[in-house]
Amino acid sequence: MHRRNVLALTGSVALCALTSSTGSSLANAATSAGLAQTRLVAEAATLFLGALSDRQRIEVQRPFSPQPKATAAHFKGGMHGDLDMVGEQYGQAMWSNFPVSDVPRPGLSLDSLNNTQQDAAMALLRVMLSDKGYRKVLDIMGSDQALADTGTPFAAGRATYTLAIFGTPGVSGLWMVQFGGHHLALNVTLRGEHAVLAPVLTGCLPAIYEQDGERIRVLAAENDKAFALLDTLDDKQRRWAIIGHPVSELLLGPGRDGETFVADGVKGSTLDPRQRRMLFDLVVEWAGILNDVHASPRLAEIEDSLDETFFAWSGPTSCKADRNGASYFRIQGPRLFIEFSPQKPGGDLTMHVHTIYRDFQHAYGRALQE
């Protein structure tokens, strides 16, 4: 109503000025909110570092060395010690979808910290992530603990999850937090009002476990939202979406930074508004792990590029109620690559999954570098 009054009184020039002023105010508010959120994360990181001994601090805080591309790092491991275990290395940072006993992560594991230090580490994660993102991390760690409790030939459990900080926490400089274990890798890079969460590995084994009398199904939302979207596709859209061959491994797993594939699947521009919303909500399960303030700009970019985003599927088109399926799916768009890949180890594809989220331009804070 206010805009119509301005237009009636002073014409379109005044309306343009008002729109520009409103846009500027919104941008300033977003910048202020981003700076405030970065400050909170930096303060939590500083408190964590302050709780450590000098020796521990040297171990957990490393230089941050921006570079054009991450590289593959190879280790020999597995039950017989002769399998090729691949990690992705960026400077001194390292993550993988293999256990920490096979691909060592830099930093300090939770079992090397006392209770106060562990609380400070988890407080850092809490302020860095969204509510749903933090809950997802806890569920994945709980799954890994359930696996450890059954006995494994490799390191497993919450105690093996490791935290490292690269650079100096603050608002003006570029720095990164890395946290993860067997089925989790978070790489969060911060500078000014911006934070980037990429790349991200999530996964689980087992997908279903009990904790304190509660049944927990890990990555349930990712699975259920994907099947729900598939169910809305008509025959033509399904023919586009379904890949004609099985896919059982991550195409862009650790060590594959910067690689691309020709997109296939059903294109976002062919989806109706409800289907587009469902596709976006599915992507949020990864991009929304980051806290709401820092995630907002990236989510807006993803939503704006849905026309050029593809959804592809391989495997069964149905699953049992309240249980993950055995199907692979992929989401690929401008600078966006997501995979959900059930895994054979363990013998039940519905109980073991690896997923990857990549942002080709922003990974490791490359877009934030001077």
Encode pLDDT of 197-231 as tens digits. Answer: 999 999 999 999 999 999 999 999 999 999 999 99
Looking at residue 68, what is its pLDDT? 92
Average pLDDT in the 138-157 region?
92
345: confidence class by pLDDT, cuts 50, 70, 90? confident
91 and 75 in contact (C-beta within 8 Å)? no
Cis peptide before 316 (omega within 30 of 0): no
- Burial (0-12, 13-18, 19+ Cβ within 10 Å), 1: exposed
Looking at residue 167, what is its pLDDT? 98
Q: Percent of the chain beyond pLDDT 90?
A: 84
Six-digit token pair at 67? 């570079």
The residue length of the chain stands at: 370
What's the first-to-final CA gap in the chain, in angstroms? 43
How many whole angstroms separate alpha carbon 258 and alpha carbon 178? 19
How many whole angstroms separate alpha carbon 351 and alpha carbon 355? 13
How many whole angstroms separate alpha carbon 226 and alpha carbon 261? 21
HSE-CB for 291 with a 13 A CA cutoff? 22
How many whole angstroms separate alpha carbon 133 and alpha carbon 126? 9
Looking at residue 3, what is its pLDDT? 35
How many whole angstroms separate alpha carbon 368 and alpha carbon 370? 7
Predicted TM-score of the model (pTM): 0.92
CB atoms within 10 A of CB 108: 22
Say yes or no to pLDDT of 12 above 80: no
How many whole angstroms separate alpha carbon 157 and alpha carbon 174? 31
- Per-residue pLDDT tens for 236-280? 999 999 998 888 899 999 999 999 889 999 999 999 999 999 999
Q: What is the DSSP string of 90-129?
A: ETTEEE-SS-TTTSPPSSEEGGGS-HHHHHHHHHHHHHHB
CB neighbour list of residue 310: distance below 8 Å, 6 or more residues apart:
263, 264, 265, 266, 267, 268, 330, 331, 332, 333
- Per-residue pLDDT tens for 289-312? 999 999 999 999 999 999 999 999
Where on the phi/psi map is residue 364: left (φ > 0), alpha (ψ -120 to 50), or beta? Answer: left
Average pLDDT in the 190-201 region?
98
Looking at residue 80, what is its pLDDT? 64
- Residue 259, helix vs strand vs coil: coil
How many whole angstroms separate alpha carbon 346 and alpha carbon 361? 35
88 and 70 in contact (C-beta within 8 Å)? yes
107 and 60 in contact (C-beta within 8 Å)? yes
- Per-residue pLDDT tens for 19-67? 445 667 778 988 999 999 999 999 999 999 999 999 999 999 999 999 9
